[in-house]
Structure 1
Amino acid sequence: MQNPDSAFLDDLITRHSDQLTEADARILGVMVRDPIRAAMENGKEVSFRAGVHPASAVRLARRLGFKGYPEFRAFLQQRLVEGKGEFEDPTARIAARLAKAGDSGLLSSVLDSEITALESLRASVTDAEIRGFSEALLGARRIFMFGQSHAATLCHLVALRLRRSGYDAVDLSLMQHQWLEQVAGMTGDDVMWLINFRKLPETVARIMQVAAVRGATTLALTDKRGAALDPPPDRHIAVSRGEAGESQSLAVPMTVTNTVILDLATIDEGRTMRALAEFRDMRETLAPY
């Protein structure tokens, strides 16, 4: 299968094949094998890897219709940022972000991405959707959380906050192969809250199927680009964590979960506040130990 990031290089080679020299072919060969690295290197570096004269990359760029190698590299970087494979390949994601940062500075680039993603969240998620999640949690006998990779970290935080707020929350993300024992007693009075980014792991699909069979209410917080869930959840909030080449924000899904927990505190008739006060007193009492 062709590397999606190399397709545009193949097209350039085809269109200018009658003009290319042996040195050009050697440079393009190393670029096609690793287009992500090629988009980050300067002309001397890519020429060195190809074993040709340092100026060969500049001559190649001009034969391909660019003013010089910097313009050619900018083209490669832009295609990387826009590439279809960017969200699936972690190396490409990092490279695309570095390419997009350019001379403006990495911190500024990340901050701009986060701000843009959070502003998008304001326009895409409603208070009614947040209330739908909090009402489901309010009536739950038990709340099961599950996510993998970065989502697992968020699940751990949410489960911790829910337990401190007086709710029986179980983080299945920490249980690896023991999750089946935990969901064996799942009933229609329980909630299964899934947090998932991008691809849908097989374990996630199986857990959602168990929840559906048991009649549990299912909640899902996912990327807009994430895989379709089957069976579909009862309530679903899909958010954009950033476009291609931008920082894939964890602040966006964390903002959603924090808002759900805060909204839950406004409708549970003091349950959260009492539980937090009890936890504070217990922590102060047991702190020396």
Structure 2
Amino acid sequence: MIDSQDAVSHALRELISRHAARLTPADERLLGVLTQDPVRAAIENGAVVSSRAGVHPASAVRLARRLGFSGYPEFRSFIQASLMDGSGDFESPAARMAARLVKAGDGGVLASVLDSEIAALEQVRSAVSDSEIRQFSGVIRKARRVFVFGRGHFGALAALVALRLNRSGYSAVDLNSQLHQLPEALVEMSESDVLWLFAFRRTVPVLKEVRAIAASRGTCTLAITDLGGARIDPGPDHHIAISRGAVGESQSLVVPMTIANAVILDLAATDDGRSIRSLQSFKSFRADSGLS
């Protein structure tokens, strides 16, 4: 369950408010059920919703008509659209999940996720250039250390990027794993280092603080964000802003991972064999150490 303010779009709240004087107690019970669970509200038919609200099976149809719709199917389509329409991703995780399930419909969840991922990846082809990838890899290649930072789901991506950089012969620090010792991790950050940020959906306070420290130390900052997560102040020195999918789609984790992989691959293509030699050395060490 989520709060009705999270579950219901502004348009639907306005619709309910506009017709509030005409609503009956049965209508109010139905609306209470509808606004408590965005997934079920968008998928169930009128008879099922009426049953859950404990009212007559025809009550959902009467409510829809009082709100200006021809019947309950049209009202349900409006609820579905209210989940998927918007200028950006939902702040509520439950509402985001609801929108994705609505979009999946009868076609199947796996097919819907695959379609979303493919569409999100395809738009990267025209939205991100090889020169932007080369800017990132060029800065990293010259750095003493690379501090990598992301929160939430992107903490896992930051950890993976730091791991791959270390294996490729570049000294990298996963800041997300050192949140309890951030002052110790950042105290020697300098103009010789690089800060690589992943910021999506919103920029959390600690990320802003780390960016501010980097700016005060003259540390070059790279950032990969979605189109709504670009509010980093001061702005990064090099910035790739990319959509991870439209509202109601899967909000791909593959998109930023693909861009990060391209940067690391470009490093290997331009660092005169440094990455290749380091990877070979690491493979030999792991095989000989008995730690694999």
TM class by smaller structure: over 0.9
Q: Which runs of 5+ in 2 are unaligned?
A: none
Say whether the 8 Å CA contact 2:89–2:201 is kept in structure 1: no
Say whether the 8 Å CA contact 1:144–1:171 is kept in structure 2: yes
Q: Which range is displaced more, 44-53 or 203-212?
A: 44-53
Deviation at 1:86, TM superposition (A): 4.4
Count of residues in Structure 1 that have an aligned counterpart in Structure 2: 289
For residues 234-255 of structure 1, the C-alpha deviation after alignment (integer angstroms, 9 at most, x for no partner) is 1001110001000000110011
Q: Distance in 1 between matches of 2:31 and 2:87?
A: 21
**TM-score, normalized by length of structure 2?**
0.92
* Distance of aligned partners of 1:237 and 1:91 in 2 relative to their CA distance in 1, 3 Å threshold: same
Correspondence for 1:122: 125
Correspondence for 1:146: 149
For residues 70-91 of structure 1, the C-alpha deviation after alignment (integer angstroms, 9 at most, x for no partner) is 3321210111101457421100
Q: Distance in 1 between matches of 2:155 and 2:268?
A: 23
Q: Distance in 1 between matches of 2:9 and 2:238?
A: 39
**TM-score, normalized by length of structure 1?**
0.93
For residues 89-120 of structure 1, the C-alpha deviation after alignment (integer angstroms, 9 at most, x for no partner) is 10000000001111111111111111111111
Say whether the 8 Å CA contact 1:86–1:92 is kept in structure 2: no
SS at 1:245 equivalent: coil
Correspondence for 1:13: 16
Q: Distance in 1 between matches of 2:97 and 2:183?
A: 35
Q: Distance in 2 between matches of 1:32 and 1:217?
A: 47
Decide which of 226, 229, 233 is 1:226's aligned counterpart.
Answer: 229
Q: Distance in 2 between matches of 1:103 and 1:171?
A: 41
Q: Which range is displaced more, 273-282 or 56-65?
A: 56-65
Q: Distance in 2 between matches of 1:147 and 1:236?
A: 15
Q: Percent identity between the aligned chains?
A: 56
RMSD: 2.1
Say whether the 8 Å CA contact 1:155–1:171 is kept in structure 2: yes
Q: Distance in 1 between matches of 2:4 and 2:267?
A: 49
Structure 1 residue identity aligned to 2:55: V
For residues 251-285 of structure 1, the C-alpha deviation after alignment (integer angstroms, 9 at most, x for no partner) is 10011000000001111111001101101111110
Structure 1 residue identity aligned to 2:11: F
SS at 2:188 equivalent: coil
Deviation at 1:18, TM superposition (A): 6.1
Q: Distance in 1 between matches of 2:221 and 2:259?
A: 16
Deviation at 1:23, TM superposition (A): 1.9
Say whether the 8 Å CA contact 1:145–1:170 is kept in structure 2: yes
Correspondence for 1:166: 169
Decide which of 15, 26, 29 is 2:29's aligned counterpart.
Answer: 26
Structure 2 residue identity aligned to 1:3: Q
Correspondence for 1:106: 109
